[in-house]
Amino acid sequence: MTGPSPQPSPAPRAREQLAAELRRIVGDPYVHAAPSEVIAYSYDGTFQQRRPDLAVSPASTAEVAAVVKVAARDSVPIIARGASSGLAGGTIPERGGIILNLARMDRIVEIDTANVCAVVEAGVITLQLQEEVEKHGLFYPPDPASSRQSTLGGNVACNSGGPRCLKYGVTRDYVTGLTVVLASGEIVRLGGKLAKNASGYQLLQLLVGSEGTLGIVTEAILKLIPLPRSRVTALASFPKLALASQAVARIMGSGILPCTLELMDGTTINVVEDFLHAGLPRDAEALLLLEQDGADEPAARRDVEAMAAVCADLGASEVRVAGSAAERDTLWQARRAVSPALARIRPNKLGEDIVVPRGQVPAMIGCIGEVAGRYGLPIPVFGHAGDGNLHPNILFDLRDPDEVHKVELAARDIFRAALSLGGTLSGEHGIGSLKREFMEEAQGATAIALSRAIKQVFDPQNILNPGKLFPTGNGIDGFLAHLPVLAGVTPG
């Protein structure tokens, strides 16, 4: 498996000069150019891998701007990353260049209780902000499963979601201000500590979800809301997956907006149980994790009981309401572990992130089952069933070319099924390099042309995360085989 022929790396001497210049900006210990170090900045949360020419860890917006100016002068690709836990290849340096590691910019600048917002640097870990604001009785809802390691800069770049987003909205709904380094190295501040803003184009919203292709977000102002004081969680087990997906549709139509409504199928239940021994029912074909929060516990409990009644009515084999905070934490720990724990089954996984209109969840789950059968591949499903965002994970072994081909076909069929049901490619992971070949099919040629025109305005030299988001022209056939991995014995 080889990548699209990468543009030739700079000559060793040019690379050494670049490293020396960057050392003057960020300091010696924060330029990572040694042979083992470029390996450490070559991957993300997928199986893709390609060495950058070097990586730098700047400490401030000013340092980021200085690094980008150097990259702009030399037309070197520059790829920003936080924890690089992304699942779409968004931070893979496919064409070499400079990796900008923003994890070191990890200061919570301010928690402003009067304006109910937080000011954070890009490298702050999502969970750290959440724990900090909760001390003030405040709440930052977006909660990607990777919140323990993902950075807020990465969340903004990918418009991350999470289980609670069903009720509270995604990262985009909480961003009111951004500090951005443009492709020229100029620094621009967008928005502010504002609850409303109708002043012209909302450029900051264009930056959210742009995956580092339009500018580099170094600081964000995030809206906060009051912390709900009560949470009630329940777990419903179903003997049939179809029954669980019907329960989702029925609950969403019942006038209740739960805080979360998460689905796990039988394979995911068992693989998580192997890791955590959380007491999940191994024989169930599906689980629904239900949660309601609110200012008072009886109201939250009433909602959970109403949802439990719907599940029981549809033939749930068991509905258990978590009795203690510890029990609830165990359930959540189980949910968060699902995606990485799937590696226990096969060496590689293609984690999809499709969204369909909520009413189509049962139909979509049916389609995924058919695709799995058609190609003989294990495709466990879990995800945020309540908002129509599902994560079918195709499990495979990258070392087997026949299987890789089958995975391509299965992924294609799943994408097309989602599109035909009125859905789209990604709900919270982003497009990166993994799904770009399907973008035109998903959005149409006109929308893609508009997006390309926007990219051209922001980044005329095409140095910011080049190649991501847009179809390459290679087409859908072989879209996996064209992705970069280190050529060698056992890629992955």
Partner 1 sequence: MLRCIRCAACLTACPTYVIDHKEEEGPRGRIAIMRAVAEGHLEVTEDAWRHVDNCLLCDACSHVCPSGVEMERIGVAFREYAFTLARSSGRAEHAPQGATGHEQGSGVPRRSIGERFAFGWLFGDLGHFRLVARLLRFYQGSGMRWLARHLGILRLLRLSQMEAMLPAIPDHFVVPAGQTVGMGEPAQIFAGCIMSTAFAPTTERTAELVAAFGCAASFPVGQVCCGALQLHGGDGERARSLARANLDAFGQSEAPIVVNAAGCGALLKHYGQLLPDDPRAGQFSARVKDVSEFLATRTALQAPREVRRVVTLQDACHLLHAQRVDRAPRSLLQAIPGLELRDMAEPGLCCGSAGVYNVTHREQSAALQARKCASIEQTGADMVLTGNPGCLLQMRAGLPPSIEVGHIVDVLAEAYCPAPEDGRSSSLRTVG
Cβ 437 to partner 1 shortest distance, Å = 22
- Binds partner 1 (CB under 8 A): choice among 103, 157, 261, 278: 103
Q: Is 396 one of the binding residues for partner 1 (CB under 8 A)?
A: no
What b-and-e string marks burial along 40-52, b requiring 16 or more CB atoms within 10 Å of the CB? ebbbbbbbbbbbb
Q: Please compute, for residue 95, the number of CA atoms within 13 A of its CA located in the half-sphere on the CB side.
A: 14
Structure tokens at 371: 């695709």
**69 near partner 1 (CB under 8 A):** no
Which of 61, 84, 246, 268 is the binder for partner 1 (CB under 8 A)? 84
Residue recorded with tokens 């870990």: 125
* Site for partner 1 contains 108 (CB under 8 A): no
- Cβ proximity to partner 1, 57 vs 292, nearer residue: 57
Q: Which residues pair with 223 in a beta bridge?
A: 117
Residue 125 contacts partner 1 per CB under 8 A = yes
Query: Applying CB under 8 A, does 492 fall inside the site for partner 1?
Result: yes
Q: Please identify, using beta-carbon distances, which residue of 131 and 296 lies nearer to partner 1.
A: 131
How many amino acids of this chain bind partner 1 (CB under 8 A)?
46
- Is residue 39 within the footprint of partner 1 (CB under 8 A)? yes
Note whether 149 binds partner 1 by CB under 8 A.
Answer: yes
Can residue 479 be called a binding residue for partner 1 (CB under 8 A)? Answer: no
Of 46, 171, 268, 424, which one interacts with partner 1 (CB under 8 A)? 46
Q: How far is the CB of 239 from partner 1 (least distance, A)?
A: 27
User: What's the CA gap between 440 and 471, in Å, rounded?
Assistant: 7
Please choose, out of 211-219, 293-301, 336-344, 467-475, the segment that lies near partner 1 by the rule CB under 8 A. 336-344
Among 58, 93, 123, 423, binds partner 1 (CB under 8 A): 123
In the complex, minimum distance from the CB of residue 135 to partner 1, in angstroms, rounded to a whole number: 13
Closer to partner 1 at the Cβ: 34 or 62?
34
CB 450 within 8 A of CB 401: no
| Nearest CB to partner 1, comparing residues 154 and 423 | 154
Neighbours of 253 (CB within 10 A): 11
Instruction: Rule CB under 8 A: say whether 292 interacts with partner 1.
Output: no
Which span (39-47, 256-264, 403-411, 454-462) binds partner 1, by CB under 8 A? 39-47
Please select the residue that binds partner 1; options are 292, 339, 426, 433, rule is CB under 8 A: 339
36 is an interface residue for partner 1 by CB under 8 A: yes
Shorter beta-carbon distance to partner 1: residue 67 or 236: 67
- For partner 1, the closer CB: 74 or 327: 327
Instruction: State the minimum distance, in angstroms, from the CB of residue 93 to partner 1.
Output: 13
| Residues engaged in binding partner 1 (CB under 8 A) | 29, 32, 34-37, 39-47, 55, 57, 83-85, 101, 103-104, 106, 123, 125, 146, 148-150, 275, 337, 339-344, 347-349, 486, 488-490, 492
